């Protein structure tokens, strides 16, 4: 994907600027990497992202929906506000962005990759609403693959336990988080949590020439945990 303009989107501007710097260090032209600091669940976020992209670059060839939120709790103890935030972040925000990018992606015959989770495949206590939101994203992916073909390809990557800062934002105590991470390693046949580098090549594959005859696919990248 080198050489293509990049629009980085996220809630925290400092993190966006750090990511932008990494992209430039890896060879991206500073003039081709821009940032949009916005919460994708906000009402006009999709309009802002698309309008800024088109204003700066005049085209849009790919969309990667990577925002995600997880809150783990038994349903009888879960907060309804957490349910709403998970549905908004994991399902409604990607749907809104896809909706707003369709005209530009049709013109470029572009591609969409949604970042789901094996949580949408596995039935696990304490994760019913999270899993339902990710299962819904998988269904959205497959439905839109038919709806938007042949001009736009739509696929999803479903990671397993990936070692990111997300684990500090689950609403769990440090002890509970440590136990959760240990359990995920124990139940993963390849014996470790994944890394970002385990996932990114699959996104690149689906967006690149090797993915030109792939749409409606859900690519599981989980160290064997869901098998």
Question: What proportions of the chain, in percent to the nearest 5, are helix, strand and coil?
Answer: 50, 15, 35
Give CA separation, 5 vs 10, 28, 33, 34, 165, in Å. 17, 8, 6, 8, 26
- 23, burial (CB in 10 Å: exposed 0-12, middle 13-18, buried 19+): middle
Tokens at residue 39, please? 């919460």
> Which residue pairs, CB below 8 angstroms and at least 24 apart, start in 126-133?
126/72, 126/73, 126/74, 127/70, 127/72, 128/75, 129/71, 129/75, 129/78, 129/82, 129/83, 129/86, 129/87, 130/70, 130/71, 130/72, 130/86, 130/90, 133/86, 133/87, 133/89, 133/90, 133/91
Distance CA 193, CA 146 (A): 33
CA 113 to chain centroid, in Å, comes to 8
- Catalytic-residue membership of 167: no
Catalytic residue (choose from 72, 83, 130, 202): 130
What positions carry a catalytic annotation?
130
């Amino acid at each position: 994907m080198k050489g293509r303009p990049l629009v980085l989107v996220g809630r925290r501007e400092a993190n966006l600027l750090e990511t932008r710097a990494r992209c430039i260090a890896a060879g991206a032209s500073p003039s081709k990497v821009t940032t949009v600091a916005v919460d994708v669940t906000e009402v006009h976020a999709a309009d802002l992202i698309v309008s800024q992209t088109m204003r700066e670059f005049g085209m849009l060839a790919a969309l990667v929906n990577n925002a995600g939120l997880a809150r783990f709790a038994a349903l009888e103890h879960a907060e309804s506000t957490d349910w709403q935030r998970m549905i908004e972040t994991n399902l409604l925000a990607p749907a809104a962005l896809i909706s707003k990018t369709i005209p530009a992606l049709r013109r470029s015959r572009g591609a969409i990759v949604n970042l789901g989770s094996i949580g949408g495949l596995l039935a696990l206590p304490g994760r019913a609403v999270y899993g339902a939101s990710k299962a819904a994203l998988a269904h959205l992916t497959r439905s839109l693959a038919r709806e938007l073909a042949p001009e736009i390809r739509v696929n999803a990557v479903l990671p397993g336990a990936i070692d990111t800062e997300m684990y500090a934002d689950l609403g769990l105590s440090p002890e509970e988080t440590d136990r959760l991470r240990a359990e995920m390693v124990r139940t993963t046949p390849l014996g470790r949590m994944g890394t970002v580098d385990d996932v990114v090549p699959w996104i690149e594959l689906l967006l690149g020439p090797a993915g030109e005859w792939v749409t409606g696919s859900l690519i599981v990248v989980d160290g064997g945990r869901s098998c």
